[in-house]
């Protein structure tokens, strides 16, 4: 498990470098697909099975398909790589190295590892809590013999059940607010991407003097309705 996790973490770092430094946008998107897929593997290793499924469905499924669709729709030109001598790039690399070093040193030295933990106290860290449960026989003789991913001590009822209990009891108000957020985002996306042809766009209650030059198309508007039946209706609405 440790070797698997180390390999996946290294691959995540490499594919994230591909996201930032690919000159073509589509390569950045495909690198991001790889990154979020490997992060899902890390979630599975870390006993977050529900987030593993959500990560694959929402990120690798929905969000990345949206990205690839938009790239195909907009066809962005490729961008030259940042030059190595660019001082901003050197500053960024220095910042990455500094912050990573600080995080690593803090994580190595700032956390006290429990060396012996025989009770199920809340201060027990993950591995020792599982170990103590295995010692009492609560998880069977060898809890890891049948399945490679060990049951987290907190996940004994099942990861989805535990998360649902938290989401629908403790955090039910934030959960409902996220539904409102998704509704607002959907309405905003529909509003932003609606068609803007003249004759269809204008609300008759809005006066013509309120023309918004940012909203005007660069080219002259194409006539939408044929000259026969549609045009008088459009004219009458205005």
Partner 1 sequence: MLSQAMFPWILLTAGFLFTLGALGVLIRRNPLVVFMCIELMLNAVNLALVGYSSFLSSEEGQVFAFMVIVVAAAEVVVGLGLLTRVFSIGRELDVDDLDEMKR
- Write down the least CB distance from residue 232 to partner 1, Å: 28
200 contributes a contact to partner 1 by CB under 8 A:
no
- Cβ closest to partner 1, residue 164 vs residue 233: 164
Q: How many residues bind partner 1 (CB under 8 A)?
A: 94
117 contributes a contact to partner 1 by CB under 8 A:
no
202's tokens: 């204008």
Segment contacting partner 1 (CB under 8 A): 202-210, 216-224, 230-238? Answer: 216-224
168 contributes a contact to partner 1 by CB under 8 A:
no
- Cβ closest to partner 1, residue 93 vs residue 233: 93
139 contributes a contact to partner 1 by CB under 8 A:
no
- Write down the least CB distance from residue 35 to partner 1, Å: 7
Residue of the chain from 7, 135, 138, 189 that contacts partner 1 (CB under 8 A) = 189
Which of 217-225's residues contact partners 24+ apart within 8 Å by CB, and which partners? Answer: 221/197, 222/197, 224/197, 224/198, 224/199, 224/200, 225/199
Using CB atoms within 10 Å of the CB of residue 141, give its burial: 0 to 12 exposed, 13 to 18 middle, 19+ buried. exposed
92 contributes a contact to partner 1 by CB under 8 A:
yes
Residue of the chain from 119, 166, 200, 237 that contacts partner 1 (CB under 8 A) = 166
228's tokens: 């026969």
- Write down the least CB distance from residue 238 to partner 1, Å: 22
**Which parts of 24-83 interact with partner 1 (CB under 8 A)?**
25, 28-29, 32, 35-36, 39, 42-43, 45-48, 50-51, 54-55, 58-59, 62-63, 66-67, 70-71, 73-74, 76, 79, 82
- Cβ closest to partner 1, residue 97 vs residue 206: 97
- Cβ closest to partner 1, residue 111 vs residue 229: 111
231 contributes a contact to partner 1 by CB under 8 A:
no
What would you report as the CA-atom Rg of the chain, rounded to the nearest whole angstrom?
27
Q: Which residue has the tokens 């001590």?
A: 153
238 contributes a contact to partner 1 by CB under 8 A:
no
């Amino acid at each position: 498990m440790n070797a698997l996790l180390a390999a996946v973490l290294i691959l995540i770092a490499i594919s994230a470098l591909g996201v930032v430094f690919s000159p073509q946008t589509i390569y950045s998107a495909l690198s991001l697909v790889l990154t979020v897929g490997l992060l899902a593997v890390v979630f599975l290793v870390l006993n977050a099975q529900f987030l593993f499924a959500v990560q694959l469905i929402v990120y690798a499924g929905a969000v990345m398909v949206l990205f690839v669709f938009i790239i195909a729709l907009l066809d962005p030109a490729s961008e030259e790589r940042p030059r190595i001598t660019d001082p901003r790039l050197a500053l960024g690399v220095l910042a990455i190295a500094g912050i990573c070093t600080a995080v690593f040193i803090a994580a190595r030295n700032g956390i006290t590892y429990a060396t012996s933990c025989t009770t199920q106290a809340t201060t027990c860290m993950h591995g020792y809590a599982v170990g103590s449960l295995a010692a009492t026989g609560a998880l069977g003789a060898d809890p890891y013999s049948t399945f490679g991913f060990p049951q987290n001590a907190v996940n004994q009822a099942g990861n989805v059940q535990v998360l649902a209990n938290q989401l629908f009891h403790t955090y039910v108000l934030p959960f409902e607010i996220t539904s409102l957020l998704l509704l607002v985002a959907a309405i905003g996306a529909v509003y932003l991407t609606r068609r803007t042809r003249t004759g269809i766009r204008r609300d008759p209650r809005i006066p013509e003097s309120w023309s918004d030059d940012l909203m005007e198309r660069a080219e002259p508007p194409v006539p939408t309705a044929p000259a026969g039946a549609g045009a008088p209706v459009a004219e009458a609405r205005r």
